[in-house]
Amino acid sequence: MAGRLEGKVAVITGAASGIGRGTVDLFVKEGARVIAADIQDDKGAHIEEDHKGNARYVRCDVSLESDIEAAVAAATQHFGKLDFLFNNAGTGGARDAADAVTAEGFDAVMHLHVRAALFGIKYAAPAMRANGGGSILSTASVAGLQAGYGPILYSIAKAAIVHMTKVTAPHLAADNIRVNCICPGLIATNIFAQGMGIPSQIGETRLDAIADAAKNSQPIRRGGRPRDIAEAALYFASDGSDWVTGQALAVDGGITLGPNDMAQMTVFAPIVQALGVDEETLAQIIAGRV
C-alpha cells in the first residue's frame, strides 16, 4: 500500500534532531522526499546516509532570511516542487524574568521562532501556489496557549506563532495553501538540557529518563516522544487535512486540561481543613475514597 505522503515533497527545519528528525524519518517512510534543514552538519550527513535519495540535507540557520529562502528553493531544485513546509527549528532561549529581559535576548528568541516562521511562509507560498497548493505547519507550544509551561520570551514567541497561523491562513486559503500549527506538550528532546545550559550531547543520552520523569505530568500517563508530534505533522502534510486551516492543535497528553480531579483536590486542601475536616478524612478525599 502506498504511503500517506507518496509523491509529496517537504521542507523541515530543525530536522537533524528531536521532533525534526522524528518527522523526517516518518515522512520518508510514508513516501515523501524531504529537504532536511538544520545547522548540525554531522547529523545532517547521517540523515542523507539513512535515507539515500529521499532526503537531502541543507545547512540552514533560520535566523537568516537568506538561508530560509535557500532551503525552500532547494525543494524545487532537487525534487521539482514543494508540497509541505514544517517551520520547526527552535530552542528554549533566554530564561530571564520579566524585569530582566534584554533587547538581545528578545531579538534572538523572536528571530529564531517568529520571524523564521513568517519568512518560511513568505518563501513557501509562491512555490506552493505554482504547484496548485500545499500545507504550512509551524511548531508552537502549549507555552503559547497558557502560562506556566516555558520561559517568558519563549512563551511570547510561541503565542505569536499561534496568532500568526490564524492571521495568515485566510490570506493563503484562496490559493489552496493551508496554514496550521502544533502545540507540543512535554516532549522528550534535548530542548530541556539546552534550556539549562547542559550540552545537547549529554541531553540526548537522557531522553528516556526525561520521558519517564514526565509520565505523571499529564492525564495520559506516559512521556511525550518526537514521534507523537511527527504523527500530527503527518496529518497536516497529508491530503486528509485538506479542509483544515488556521488551527493550533495541542498534542500534549492532556496537560493543558489541568490536573485530574484528585490532584486538584490538593490545591483546595487548606480550604477543606479550614472547614473543620480532619486530616484523615482529607487524605481519603484526596485519594478518592470519600
CATH code, domain carrying 216: 3.40.50.720
The phi, psi pair for 15, rounded to 5°, reads: -85, -10
58-96 pLDDT tens trace: 999 999 999 999 999 999 999 999 999 999 999 987 889
**Same domain assignment for residues 197 and 275:** no
- Looking up cell 484562496, which residue turns up? 174
**Same domain assignment for residues 252 and 281:** no
**Same domain assignment for residues 130 and 267:** no
Domain that holds residue 277: 259-290
Is 235 in the active site? no
**Same domain assignment for residues 276 and 167:** no
CA distances, 286 to each of 255, 262, 276, 282 (Å): 20, 5, 16, 6
**Same domain assignment for residues 108 and 210:** yes
Total of domains in the chain: 2
What CA–CA distance (Å, rounded) separates 160 from 113?
A: 9
Q: What is the pLDDT along the chain (290 residues), one digit of tens a residue?
A: 469 999 999 999 999 999 999 999 999 999 999 999 999 999 999 999 999 999 999 999 999 999 999 999 999 999 999 999 999 999 987 889 999 999 999 999 999 999 999 999 999 999 999 999 999 999 999 999 999 999 999 999 999 999 999 999 999 999 999 999 999 999 988 665 555 454 555 556 667 887 787 778 888 988 899 999 999 999 999 999 999 999 999 999 999 998 765 555 565 566 656 767 677 776 666 565 55
* From 57, 123, 149, 154, the catalytic residue: 154
Residue 1 lies inside a defined structural domain of this protein:
no
Residue 2 lies inside a defined structural domain of this protein:
no
**Same domain assignment for residues 235 and 124:** yes
Determine the residue type at 96: D
**Same domain assignment for residues 33 and 165:** yes
Closest residue by Cα to residue 136 from 47, 231, 72: 72
Three-class secondary structure assignment of the chain: CCCCCCCCEEEEECCCCHHHHHHHHHHHHCCCEEEEEECCHHHHHHHHHHCCCCEEEEECCCCCHHHHHHHHHHHHHHHCCCCEEEECCCCCCCCCCCCCCCHHHHHHHHHHHHHHHHHHHHHHHHHHHHCCCEEEEEECCHHHCCCCCCCHHHHHHHHHHHHHHHHHHHHHHCCCEEEEEEEECCECCCHHHHHCCCCHHHHHCCHHHHHHHCCCCCCCCCCECHHHHHHHHHHHHCHHHCCCCCCEEEECCCHHHCCCHHHHHCCCHHHHHHCCCCHHHHHHHHCCCC
